[in-house]
């Protein structure tokens, strides 16, 4: 992992995504955002990020993780901001 990784937040225009975008930017990280409201797609974000954070409604978590899995590299960190981990963990382990 690079010493100053690019952080990508899928769903980054929501409340939690916005809070963490500001948090990481305050620490001088470059942050990319994708959501239904952005031109950048989740796949583009994954290709440009070192850390990928999924911050979407829990009902969409598995769908989003499945859609980005083919685009992930082995050297990337994948995480999520959901309260119920079993859904996202099962998809991430694939």
Q: Any idea what the CATH number is for the domain that residue 23 is in?
A: 3.40.50.720
Domain count of the chain? 1
Q: What is the pLDDT of residues 40-62, one digit of tens each?
A: 999 999 999 999 999 998 889 88
Give the Cα separation of 59 and 37 in Å (integer). 18
Q: What is the pLDDT of residue 77?
A: 95
The whole domain housing 44 covers: 7-85
73, part of any domain: yes
**pLDDT score recorded for residue 84:** 64
Backbone angles phi, psi at 38, to 5 degrees: -110, 160
What pLDDT is recorded for position 70? Answer: 95
**pLDDT value at residue 87:** 66
Quote the percentage of the chain above a pLDDT of 90: 69
pLDDT band at 73 (very low <50, low <70, confident <90, very high): very high
Please give the Cα distance from 76 to 49 (Å, whole number).
Answer: 8
Lowest mean pLDDT among 15-19, 59-63, 89-93: 89-93
């Amino acid at each position: 992992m690079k010493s100053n990784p690019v952080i990508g937040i899928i769903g980054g225009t929501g409340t939690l995504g916005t809070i963490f975008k500001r948090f990481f930017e305050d620490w001088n990280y470059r942050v990319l955002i994708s959501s239904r409201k952005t031109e950048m797609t989740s796949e583009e974000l994954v290709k440009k990020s070192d850390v990928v954070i999924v911050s979407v409604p829990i009902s969409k978590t598995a769908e989003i993780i499945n859609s980005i899995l083919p685009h992930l590299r082995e050297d990337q960190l994948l995480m999520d901001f959901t309260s119920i981990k079993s859904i996202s963990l099962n998809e991430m382990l694939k």
